[in-house]
Amino acid sequence: MFTDLPKYVFLTGKGGVGKTSLACATAVSLADAGKKVLLVSTDPASNVGQVFGIEIGNHITLIARVPGLSALEIDPEGAAAEYRERIVGPMRGVLPEKALKGIEEQLSGACTTEIAAFDEFTALLTDDAVTTAYDHIIFDTAPTGHTIRMLKLPGAWSGFLETGGDASCLGPLAGLEQSRARYAAAVDSLSDGARTRLILVTRPRASSLTEAARTSRELADIGIGNQHLAINGLMPDKDLGDDLAAALIMRDTAAIDGMDSHLAALPQTRFALRPENLVGLAALRRMTAPVALDRVAPRTADGDLPPLSALVDGIEAAGKGLVMTMGKGGVGKTTIAAAVAVELAARGHEVLLTTTDPAAHLTETLAGDVPHLSVSRIDPEAETAAYRDHILATKGASLDAQGRAMLEEDLRSPCTEEIAVFQAFSRVIREAGRKFVVMDTAPTGHTLLLLDATGSYHRDVLRHAGKAASHMTTPMMRLQDADKTKVLIVTLAETTPVLEASRLQDDLRRAGIEPYGWVVNASLAATGTTHPILAARAASEAPEIASVRNSLAARYAVVPMQAEDPVGAARLRALVRPEPVLV
């Protein structure tokens, strides 16, 4: 695995690159070497517990089968509940019930949820009881966009508090001096190369390497300079006469040869593509073992895998509406959203393709203009700037100099971004009333936080509307209306993505949103590959696809693994109507 690791190790990267597998394997390797290790997931959609086959949750838990190893999954909702109780609990019996409810309502937003999770994160960097108990603390982080925001927050909040800012979501008795000192200490730890290393995990693909290069620069700009590159899932050198394997080997080689020079200069570790899902302790300990190419896994072709075109036919029937692709990071939500949008546009419909994912790159995926198709992006920085300008021009217009200064200070709070992004999200939802809007969403955890904000707004509107509520339509009502919104859950035919997609479906149903269908993307089972490693992975897909077909999805489609990156309108449309294959 990795060598000479410091106290704090962060593994980050684009969704689906194998951050959790590498983080778990690294933690096990260190613990097997006699170190005391704490493995921490900061991903709101963590699956560390599934990898080890135990429940972990929001408290430090011993991994009994690995002496020396403990784990923690920072659960934003659980952290928020504990955070609220720490603030409200001491006031029970002191303040009137009405006042307590007012404070609880103030602390019930999505912003407080993020702050609570962030508070736990900084404690792991600064709490002596934690930092002295372990030789290493390994952080398995959320996909890139979310993680960049988290790692920037100590500096953002420190700067905000240094200017004398007050923040309602921190709580009235939170102790700003204590917070200021802790956030400053967290910034020191993150920027100290002797204590912190950032491991950029990537697949040997152009898009993944490009994102790793961008992340490297952004985090270097905030002082995280001790970086290492981990290229995960490399194809073996020999294609053994298999066309798909030959194409994938060429794709890997071209991507690595063409990577950014700054990224190429970082220290590197490379990991081979494994023929198995990395779930369970035995598989983790095999992570660096040689891969045998002489074992051919038996497989048969499933000739009845429905194409994506069937789902598009059903979506088109409504003539307009919102289509949202959701799922775990790295499953291909952006690609599927672009493919659906391009196909609808090709059929003559006006389509807006947009994204809420800070790390998504729709224009690169389309690689050119498409008739009837327009593209937009909910950019947190741009939306926040526009929101601040609007508030200052409206609410700030009648204020005196002191009042305007206080308003400007309030708008510098990192909470402002949450409000601005939600408002932009709501505007896009309204556009779906007159044409097709295809929305590529951020990875699961981030999207659920956005839906929480939508639900909070919905409840707040109804609470204050009284009798007028029956005449109102909130963004949440549009999402819950199956005639107006169709959610496509995108997954890979692997254990963890399918399990996470199933949990996402449960969360959506609890919010009153029924998914329209599932898309199993990048399936090797839908190809004719006979290469030993690819065939073994194809065979392992069968039970996952059966689970989707038989118990999880009302309707589903399977998109085959492509020999070339699905970039450009022609290749995207080929995903919708793939050529039949033989094994």
* Catalytic site positions: 16, 18-21, 43, 496
Burial tier of 141 (Cβ tally within 10 Å: 0-12, 13-18, 19+):
buried
Tell me the DSSP string of 383-434: HHHHHHHHHHHHTTTT--HHHHHHHHHHHTSTHHHHHHHHHHHHHHHHHTTT
The bridge status of strand 8-12 relative to strand 196-202 is: parallel
Phi, psi of 139 (to 5 degrees): -105, 120
Burial tier of 235 (Cβ tally within 10 Å: 0-12, 13-18, 19+):
buried
Residues 365 and 338 sit within 8 Å (Cβ to Cβ)? yes
3-state secondary structure of 338: helix
Q: For residue 495, what are its two tokens?
A: 């254990």
Q: For residue 384, what are its two tokens?
A: 């926040």
CB neighbour burial string for 393-425, b if at least 16 within 10 angstroms, e if fewer: eeebeeeeeeeeeeeeebbebbbbbbbbbbbbb
Distances (CA, A) of 481 to 107, 272, 390, 469, 556: 29, 45, 31, 17, 20
Q: With CA atoms as reference, report the closest residue to 207 among 72, 65, 14.
A: 14
- What ranges in 33-109 are assigned the alpha helix state H? 48-52, 76-88, 97-106
